[in-house]
Amino acid sequence: MAAFSYQALDPKGKTVKGVVEGDNERQVRTQLRQQGLRPLEVKSSVKRAGQVKPGGKPQPTEGGLKGLLSSLSASNGIKLSVKDTSLVTRQLASLIQSGLPLDEVLNACANQSRKPQIKAMILQVRSRVLEGLSLNQAMAEHPRTFDDLYRAMVKAGEGAGFLGPVLEQLADYTENSQETSQKVKGAMTYPLILFVVSIGVVIALMAFVVPNLVGLFENQKAELPFSTKLLIGMSDFILSYGVLTLVVIAGLVAGLKQYLKSPKNQLKWHRLLLKIPLFGELNRTAEAARYSSTLGLLVKSGVPVLEALSIAAQVLTNRHIQAAGKEVAVSVKEGMGVAKAMDQVDEFPPLLVQMVASGETNGQLSEQLIHAASNQQRELQFTLATMMSLLEPMTILFMAGMVGFIVMAILKPMFQLNQMV
């Protein structure tokens, strides 16, 4: 049974759209007519159809389904937001823990979704489960929707018989990761906006205010102060070459993006970012927290350590640290202990390495990793607070200094003129 998107007319002549399951297009049209709908268009959301009994009542939706087929191809699927991923995961966890069969769980979860794309994707997963695949195997056909971390935990939960609790943990992890990411972005947003506004104010003064005041000094025979000459020169540069400067900056940004398309260049760039004072430490701490929390969650869910190490390395965003994580997985595969392998790459905090060593010794690796993740989260919060306490006053001082320089450069020759008079 496959998922089909449809467009039909209801008894009142209103166009309705939705997704329904069926063996083929003809059967779906029959189902729609039985519901009092006049089918206008029926398209398969899956490129194959199984041979199982039909079921499911058409569920009209308000959202359009244009482009649904391309976005829900079996090889790619759709990319869910963190909110949608967490919602779907929690729904699956609650329904599974209620004791319902998996196919009914997926059908109920699809019916609860108000987004046609998500509904169709879940129905596709359900159709593959009905064909005999396990849940993680069916999800593997939608790698953009369910990544390696997600599928590994589902596989471990299915194998251990604790799929519901594992999905609950996965939903918590997804929400916590997003919360951490939002905190980092939030901490950087305010100083960045303040800095951009400061630059904008200075440029506006240079471009519109200073030129109008320059005329006051043109007829003076007295020598202008150096600060006033510098101000006039900066103003002339902005008026003459401001647009060209913006074009050059845009070109440099585009060139940098093109340069970073190469994995080798990305590795160099990310290694350089780690060396920037304060920002590099923030990046390293955030990556350590992400790595330890992912690894701890996977091990706790029953995923083999070697597989967990490989997946945990993939969730890292800094290419340099990601390469170190992959090196750890290779060393462990060759027989080295996790703590020793992490210490060898010298990219993870010593406290994290020590807690991993302790976990390996006492057989509580997952607990120690989760505890280490909590420590890294607290350190991340402290680093963010430190950055905020430094960046905000520095930005304000920069803006005050620039405005003060402009004011003094304008007032100083005026004072000289008054003294001459």
pLDDT mean across residues, the chain: 80
Q: How far apart are CA 68 and CA 303, in angstroms?
A: 34
Q: How far apart are CA 331 and CA 245, in angstroms?
A: 49
User: Could you tell me the sign of the dihedral formed by the alpha carbons of 128, 129, 134, 140, in that order?
Assistant: positive
Range from 102-111, 123-132, 153-162, 362-371 carrying the lowest mean pLDDT = 153-162
Residues 136 and 212 placed together within one structural domain of the fold: no
User: Could you tell me the sign of the dihedral formed by the alpha carbons of 130, 301, 184, 266, in that order?
Assistant: negative
Residues 350 and 267 placed together within one structural domain of the fold: yes
Is the pLDDT at 255 greater than 90? The verdict is: yes
Q: Which of 126, 146, 166 is the last residue of a domain?
A: 146
Q: Give buried/exposed letters for 98-109 (b at 16+ CB in 10 A, else e).
A: eeeebbebbbbb
Structure tokens given for 286:
């955030």
Residues 231 and 97 placed together within one structural domain of the fold: no
φ/ψ bin of 361: left (φ > 0), alpha (ψ from -120 to 50), beta (otherwise): alpha
Residues 110 and 223 placed together within one structural domain of the fold: no
Is the pLDDT at 277 greater than 50? The verdict is: yes
Residues 141 and 229 placed together within one structural domain of the fold: no
Is residue 158 in some structural domain? no
| pLDDT score of 237 | 86
Number of separate helices (H) and strands (E) present in the chain: 17, 4
Is residue 391 in some structural domain? yes
Position 238 confidence tier, pLDDT thresholds 50, 70, 90: confident
Is residue 154 in some structural domain? no
Residue with tokens 């482009």, as numbered in its chain: 67
User: Could you tell me the sign of the dihedral formed by the alpha carbons of 414, 418, 420, 421, in that order?
Assistant: positive
Residues 219 and 106 placed together within one structural domain of the fold: no
Is residue 189 in some structural domain? no
Position 287 confidence tier, pLDDT thresholds 50, 70, 90: confident
Is residue 395 in some structural domain? yes
Q: Which of 125, 146, 167 is the last residue of a domain?
A: 146
| pLDDT score of 332 | 92
Residues 126 and 216 placed together within one structural domain of the fold: no
| pLDDT score of 7 | 79
End-to-end CA distance of the chain: 95
Q: Give buried/exposed letters for 250-271 (b at 16+ CB in 10 A, else e).
A: eeeeeeeeeeeeeeeebbebbe
Structure tokens given for 89:
């995961």
Question: Once rounded to an integer, what is the mean pLDDT over residues 29-38?
Answer: 82
Give residue-wise pLDDT tens across range 107-148. 899 888 888 888 888 988 888 888 888 898 889 888 888 888
Is residue 199 in some structural domain? no
Closest CA to 82 of 14, 147, 139: 147
Question: Once rounded to an integer, what is the mean pLDDT over residues 75-79?
Answer: 62
Residues 213 and 81 placed together within one structural domain of the fold: no
Position 74 confidence tier, pLDDT thresholds 50, 70, 90: very low
Expressed as residue numbers, the domain containing 101 is 2-146
Is residue 224 in some structural domain? yes
Residues 390 and 289 placed together within one structural domain of the fold: yes
Hey, which residues does 20 pair with through a beta bridge?
4
Question: Once rounded to an integer, what is the mean pLDDT over residues 219-226?
Answer: 70
Q: How many domains does the chain contain in total?
A: 2
Closest CA to 155 of 173, 135, 171, 138: 135
What CATH code is carried by the domain that includes residue 283? Answer: 1.20.81.30
Task: Identify whether the C-beta of residue 23 lies closer than 8 Å to the C-beta of residue 52.
Answer: yes
Q: How far apart are CA 65 and CA 129, in angstroms?
A: 24
φ/ψ bin of 276: left (φ > 0), alpha (ψ from -120 to 50), beta (otherwise): beta
Question: Once rounded to an integer, what is the mean pLDDT over residues 343-354?
Answer: 89
For residue 28, CA distances in Å to 2, 58, 330, 336 come to: 10, 9, 51, 57
Would you mind telling me the total number of residues written for the chain in this entry? 421
Q: How far apart are CA 419 and CA 260, in angstroms?
A: 58
Residues 334 and 211 placed together within one structural domain of the fold: yes
Residues 131 and 212 placed together within one structural domain of the fold: no
Is the pLDDT at 50 greater than 50? The verdict is: no
Question: Once rounded to an integer, what is the mean pLDDT over residues 391-406?
Answer: 82
Hey, which residues does 21 pair with through a beta bridge?
3
Question: Once rounded to an integer, what is the mean pLDDT over residues 357-369?
Answer: 89
Is the pLDDT at 331 greater than 70? The verdict is: yes
Give residue-wise pLDDT tens across range 370-388. 888 888 888 888 877 777 7
At 4, give phi and psi (nearest 5°): -125, 135
Burial class (CB in 10 A: 0-12, 13-18, 19+), 328: buried
Q: How far apart are CA 228 and CA 234, in angstroms?
A: 10
At 187, give phi and psi (nearest 5°): -65, -30
Structure tokens given for 336:
């080295």
Residues 270 and 377 placed together within one structural domain of the fold: yes
Is residue 185 in some structural domain? no
Q: Which of 96, 124, 146 is the last residue of a domain?
A: 146
